[in-house]
């Protein structure tokens, strides 16, 4: 895959990847529980809470068929600069968001040492000729540092009646549909 820094949209078999950004007036409880978690256009795109985003891929190194990156959000005031990470339960989200998150992020010692920051592996599913005009046609798995492939997993929200089911992106041992990703609107940094 691309061996330099770049920005791009992330797409998969369920459309564009974005985050949950619930309008406060629509669902005040959901906004505190779900905002910033990654989802697909297919799972949430028909709702007011889906916000499409673009990512910056910061190149680290290339090994075999895997290319390592740190990934950040690059658009939208709330999420610009926020890092793609997973929580201890495997759910993917953007960290270092809004004013308070950015302040806390600056104070987090792991952000001063690049080796402690979250690394993502892009594993291409076919050979790539190295030409930028063909990069958008290459499918890949996105893996976390433990090697888990990113999947879309249904989460059950039990605080409401009836219980709600929503699909979110996850990297771990929960059962879900493994995502095959593609890049769109690539721009070299």
The pLDDT tens digits of the residues spanning 30-79 come to: 555 567 789 999 887 777 778 899 999 999 999 888 899 999 999 877 78
- Paired tokens of 72: 């950040």
Q: What is the fold, at CATH topology level, of the domain defined by 6-188?
A: Trefoil (Acidic Fibroblast Growth Factor, subunit A) (2.80.10)
**Contact assessment for residue 175 and residue 153, using Cβ atoms and an 8 Å cutoff:** yes
| Domain positions in the chain | 6-188
- Residue count of the chain: 189
What are 7-36's pLDDT values in tens digits?
A: 999 999 999 999 887 766 655 555 555 677
Peptide bond into 162 cis (omega under 30): yes
**pTM for this model (two decimals):** 0.84
């Amino acid at each position: 895959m691309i061996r330099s820094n770049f920005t791009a949209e992330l797409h998969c078999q369920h459309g564009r990847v974005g985050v949950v950004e619930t309008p406060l007036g629509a669902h005040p409880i959901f906004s505190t529980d779900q905002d910033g978690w990654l989802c697909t256009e297919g799972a949430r795109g028909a709702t007011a809470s889906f916000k499409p985003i673009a990512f910056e891929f910061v190149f680290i190194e290339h090994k075999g068929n895997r290319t390592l990156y740190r990934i950040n959000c690059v658009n939208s005031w709330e999420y610009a600069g926020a890092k793609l990470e997973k929580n201890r339960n495997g759910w993917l989200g953007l960290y270092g968001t809004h004013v308070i998150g950015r302040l806390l992020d600056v104070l987090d010692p792991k952000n001063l040492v690049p080796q402690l920051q979250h690394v993502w592996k892009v594993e291409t599913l076919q050979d790539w000729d190295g030409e930028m005009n063909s990069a958008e046609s290459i499918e890949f798995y996105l893996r976390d540092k433990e090697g888990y492939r990113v999947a879309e997993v249904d989460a059950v929200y039990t605080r409401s009646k009836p219980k709600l089911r929503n699909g979110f992106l996850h990297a771990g041992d929960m059962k879900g549909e493994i995502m095959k990703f593609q890049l769109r609107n690539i721009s070299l940094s």
